[in-house]
Amino acid sequence: MIRILKRQSFSNLKKIAPFFLLIFLILPFIYSLEIGKWHFSQIFIFPYAALIFTLVFFKVNCEKYINATSLKCDTVGEEINTVQEILHSKNLLIDSFNLKLKRYSQLKELTERLTTVVALDYTAGIILEKTIQLIPNFSSCLLYLINPKTYELNCYLSKTIDGSLVKAKKGDIFDQWVIKKMQPLLVEDVNKDFRFDVEMIDKEELRNIRSLIIAPLMTYNKIIGILRIDSLTPSCFNQEDLRLLVTISDLAAAAIDNAILYQHTLDLAIHDGLTSLYLKNYFLERLGEELQRASMKKGHLSILMLDIDKFKDFNDKFGHIAGDIVLKAVSKILQESAGKDANIICRFGGEEFAILLVDTDKEEALNLAEDLRKAIKAKEVILRRESLKITVSIGVVSCPDDGYELEDLMRKVDAFLYQAKRDGRDRVCFQEK
C-alpha cells in the first residue's frame, strides 16, 4: 500500500510541477513589476501559499487513493474468503472420497471373507462384525432370518453395545414394515415418525432406541431376512448410511442363501429323505465319539436296534407306497418318544432303525425299548380301508455293561435283535446279568 502511495505521489508531483514554477518564479516576478519594487514577503508569501495548496492537494488525492486502496483490499478479502470456501468444500469432498474408498475397501474384504466360509453361524458373525465396523454409530445390530416353515422372523444373531439381550425375537413394527414393503427403512426419530405408532410395541419388547436403519435381505425377489442397526440418539443415520447398509445386505443375502443351501446339502447327506432320520454313517460316527467320551468319563451309553416285523408282507400286499407309510409312522413314534437331548435316531437300512441313547444305562434303555414296542403296536395304520397293526423286534446293549468297542457293541445288538425275531417277534432282547 505504501508503494502504491509513493508511486501515486510521484505521478501527482509531475502534474503540479508547473504550478510550483508559477507560484515560486512567475507570480513573484509579476507582483514585483506591479508594485515597482522587490520585497522579502515576495519570497515567503507565495511559497507558503504554494505549500498550503500542495498539502490540500495531497490530502484530497491521498484520501481518494486510500479509499480506492481500501476498496481493493475489501475486494481481495472477499476473493480470499471465496477461495477459502472453495478449498473447504474441496477438502470435504476429498474426505468424503477417502471415507468411501475406505468403506469400499472394507466391503471388498467382507466379500472375500464371505466367499471363504459356508457355515451359517460363521457367515452371520462376519456380517455383523463388518456391519459394525462400517457403520459404528450403533447401540444394537441385529440379523433376522425368516423361518421357511412358519414364515416368521427369528432373531438369528444380535450384538448390543452394552451386551444386553434383545427381547424382540420376532421383530417389531419397524421390521414388519420392511418385510411387508420389501424396502429399506430409515427412521430419524421413532417418536416423531408419523408412519409408526410406538405405543403398539409390546412394553416387554420396547427398547430405548431413537433412530434406526433396516435393509431387507433379498435373493431372487424373495426376502429371507433383514439387517438392522439401532441408535440411542435421534438423527444418527442418514441416506448414505442406509445405502451402505443396503449394499451390505445384498452381499449378506447371497452369502446367507449359499450357507443355507450348504446346510441343506449337509442335511441331505446325513438324513434319510423318507423319514428325516439320520443315516447309518452319521450314526456310527457319532456312536464312536460318544463311546470315547463315555470311556473317558466312566459314563453310560445304550443302543437300541429295531426291525419292523413282517415288513415284506406290507410291500407285497399293498405295494411300496404302503411300506413307506409304515416307515414314516414308525419313525414319527421314535422321534416323539426318544428324540430328546443328545439322542441320535437313525434309519439303519431298509426297515431297521437304530437309536443311540446318551447318558442312559441299561435299565433306562430297557424301559424305553418296552415303551417304544408298546407305542408302535398301539399305532393303527389304515391301508386301503384296512386297519393294520405294526410290531417291532428290539435288541438292546449298553456301555459299559456290554463293552466299550463299537464293532463289538454293534455285533451284539444285532444278535439280540435277531434273537427277538427267532423268539417270536414283538419283543425286546438283551444280555441279562
Report the 10 Å Cβ neighbour count for 331.
19
Characterize 86-113 residue by residue with b for buried, 16 or more Cβ atoms within 10 angstroms of its Cβ, and e for exposed. eeeeeeeeeeeeeeeeebeeebeebeeb
Based on the residue annotation, tell me whether 289 is a catalytic residue of this protein.
Answer: no
End-to-end C-alpha distance for the chain, whole angstroms: 118
Cα separation, 134 vs 129, in Å, equals 9
Active-site residue identified among 289, 336, 351, 370 = 351
CB 304 within 8 A of CB 355: yes
* Count of Cβ atoms closer than 10 Å to residue 379 Cβ: 16
Give the Cα separation of 308 and 327 in Å (integer): 9
Residues 6+ apart with CB under 8 A from 5: 62, 65, 66
Per the document, the length of the chain is: 433
What is residue 271's DSSP assignment?
B
Listed in sequence order, the residues at least 6 apart from 306 whose beta carbon sits closer than 8 Å to its beta carbon are 330, 334, 352, 353, 354, 355, 372, 392, 393, 394, 417
CB 226 within 8 A of CB 184: no
Residue 347 grid coordinates: 434309519
Determine the Cα–Cα distance for residues 183 and 214; give it in Å rounded to an integer: 9
As annotated, the active-site residues are 351
